[in-house]
Amino acid sequence: MPKVLIEKLDDFGRGLAHINNKIIFVTNALPKEEVEIKIINDKKSFSEAKVTKYLKLSKNRVESICPYFETCGGCNLLNLNYENNLMFKQNKIKNLLKKNKINYDKEIEIIKNDNPLYYRNKVSLKIENGKLGYYEKNSHRLIKIKECIIAKHSINEVIKNYKLLNLENAKLTIRSNYNDEILIIIKTNEKEYNIELAKLKEKVRLVGIIYNNVTIYGENFFYERINGKLFKVSYNSFFQINECITSKLFDLIKNNIDKDSTILDLYSGVGTLGIVASSKSKEVYSIEIIKNAVLNGILNAKLNKVNNIKFMLGDVSKLINKVNLEFDTLIIDPPRKGLDKKTREYILKKLPTKIIYVSCDPNTLIRDLKEFESIYKIDDFKIMDMFSYTYHVESFCVLKRK
Ligand SMILES: C[S@@+](CC[C@H](N)C(=O)[O-])C[C@H]1O[C@@H](n2cnc3c(N)ncnc32)[C@H](O)[C@@H]1O
């Protein structure tokens, strides 16, 4: 078996080593570790390997408390202590900025997750032949699980009792709110269902079950409460997955809004960021593509006594050029693919004084920042540890017109 020294982590949290100048990605291996490896996938320009024996361990290694960590695709860095997980994310951003020659001369601040385990309020699992689990890393092989240690305890109660759903083959999404209430969303080809409702209700605070988009029990929404604000969230509306970080995100949004500003909030979901910003602003316009989320947003404005926000339903890239909006502050929180060309062009035409960019994918964020670089200066860049113990990075950026 070849021996290698792990030089660093790659962007996906894998150990990176070289054999005869060829890159080797080693799963579950940390910087400065010496390991014996077995190549499991040999390509022309790189190989993938797994560890067969640890010869020297990193001082930052911790025993993963999840029994499925080595195979499950859910987390990536449960073997590394939390401080170094944060440093991994910080380095990832620093390297991306450097590689793209984007200038940011301040320290990239990290906003920690106060509870980096049992934090996720939404998980998507598979049921195959009556067995529940996640897919193995880079494959479609099911890893049976009894618990997910990054999901909220209330979600784990459903996982423990999933047999009460009596499903053979399905995609199962479980959502939980601030009050540990549960929405279960089932997508399946099975036409009949036989859910043991009474028993399930004894185990969890069940709010609703949605079966192939039909509500077969209770409601198809619940309420979220963050920083004293209440939000109706339909089963198919987006909501940030980490309560602690969302609360800190709301504070950051509020602190970065200038008094009496006019705001355009793109990719607005159920209206959260616009509603948080509204108390300091003259007017807020929000655009979102999911109808239920827009309807939630309209109600959420009323629930939170906000009357200076307008919601628009549609695709950002199409709608922005149809409605004639004047604004000085832009909030953008797009999906992973970031901004499309038309939206970037629109922003460069409108030139708002300030852009607050919340991003869940640093690669597309940096691509977009590069486009704005000649006109905007990065005033603040923070990492928010929304997705603890995974390689995913949430960023919060404030850009100011030069
Ligand atoms: C990362 S979420 C942010 C939501 C919201 N800002 C929040 O903090 O809860 C992205 C949102 O963009 C919406 N979305 C995705 N593509 C879109 C598009 N082309 N036009 C408008 N909204 C879109 C999604 O439905 C989702 O609600």
Instruction: Output the CA 294–ligand 1 centroid distance in Å.
Output: 10
Q: What is the CATH number of domain 122-222?
A: 2.40.50.1070
pLDDT per residue rounded down to tens, the chain (402 residues)? 899 999 999 999 999 999 999 999 999 999 999 999 999 999 999 999 999 999 999 999 999 889 999 888 788 899 999 999 999 999 999 999 999 999 999 999 999 999 999 999 999 999 999 999 998 877 889 999 999 999 999 999 999 999 999 999 999 999 999 999 999 999 999 989 999 999 999 999 999 999 999 999 999 999 999 999 999 999 999 999 999 999 999 999 999 999 999 999 999 999 999 999 999 999 999 999 999 999 999 999 999 999 999 999 999 999 999 998 999 999 999 999 999 999 999 999 999 999 999 999 999 999 999 999 999 999 999 999 999 999 999 999 999 999
Give yes or no for a contact between 329 and 373, defined as CB atoms under 8 angstroms apart: no
Q: Whose CA is nearest to atom 26 of ligand 1?
A: 269
Instruction: Output the CA 67–ligand 1 centroid distance in Å.
Output: 34
Residue 96 and residue 102: Cα distance in Å, rounded?
A: 8
Q: Whose CA is nearest to atom 4 of ligand 1?
A: 269
Range list for CATH 3.40.50.150 in the chain: 87-115+242-401
Tell me the per-residue pLDDT of 350-390, one tens digit each, with 9 for 90 and over: 999 999 999 999 999 999 999 999 999 999 999 999 999 99
Range list for CATH 2.40.50.140 in the chain: 3-61
The pLDDT of residue 222 is 98
Residue 211 and residue 195: Cα distance in Å, rounded?
A: 11
Give yes or no for a contact between 70 and 384, defined as CB atoms under 8 angstroms apart: no
DSSP 198-230: HHHHHHSEEEEEEETTEEEEE-SEEEEEETTEE
Instruction: Output the CA 33–ligand 1 centroid distance in Å.
Output: 41
Instruction: Output the CA 57–ligand 1 centroid distance in Å.
Output: 42
Nearest atom (ligand 1) to Cα of 317: 19
Nearest atom (ligand 1) to Cα of 290: 25
Instruction: Output the CA 84–ligand 1 centroid distance in Å.
Output: 31
Instruction: Output the CA 288–ligand 1 centroid distance in Å.
Output: 6
Q: Whose CA is nearest to atom 18 of ligand 1?
A: 315
Nearest atom (ligand 1) to Cα of 239: 9
The pLDDT of residue 317 is 96
Pocket test for ligand 1, best of 175, 235, 238 (most atoms within 8 A of CB): 238
Pocket of ligand 1 (CB under 6 A): 238-240, 267-269, 272-273, 287-290, 293, 315-316, 333-335, 360
Tell me the fold of 87-115+242-401: Rossmann fold (3.40.50)
CA angle at 243 for the pair 10 and 259, rounded to the nearest 5°: 100
Residue with tokens 């919601």: 311
Is residue 49 classed exposed, middle or buried when 0-12, 13-18 and 19+ CB atoms within 10 A define those classes? buried
Nearest atom (ligand 1) to Cα of 269: 27
Residue 110 and residue 80: Cα distance in Å, rounded?
A: 17
The pLDDT of residue 73 is 77
Amino acid in position 358 = V
The pLDDT of residue 137 is 76
Range list for CATH 2.40.50.1070 in the chain: 122-222
Instruction: Output the CA 328–ligand 1 centroid distance in Å.
Output: 21
Nearest atom (ligand 1) to Cα of 316: 20
Residue 88 and residue 391: Cα distance in Å, rounded?
A: 8
Instruction: Output the CA 81–ligand 1 centroid distance in Å.
Output: 32
Given the DSSP bridges, would you call strands 181-187 and 205-211 parallel, antiparallel or unpaired? Answer: parallel
CB-side exposure of 74: number of CA atoms within 13 Å? 25
Tell me the fold of 3-61: OB fold (Dihydrolipoamide Acetyltransferase, E2P) (2.40.50)
The pLDDT of residue 217 is 98
Nearest atom (ligand 1) to Cα of 340: 19
Instruction: Output the CA 298–ligand 1 centroid distance in Å.
Output: 15
Residue 267 and residue 338: Cα distance in Å, rounded?
A: 10
The pLDDT of residue 139 is 82
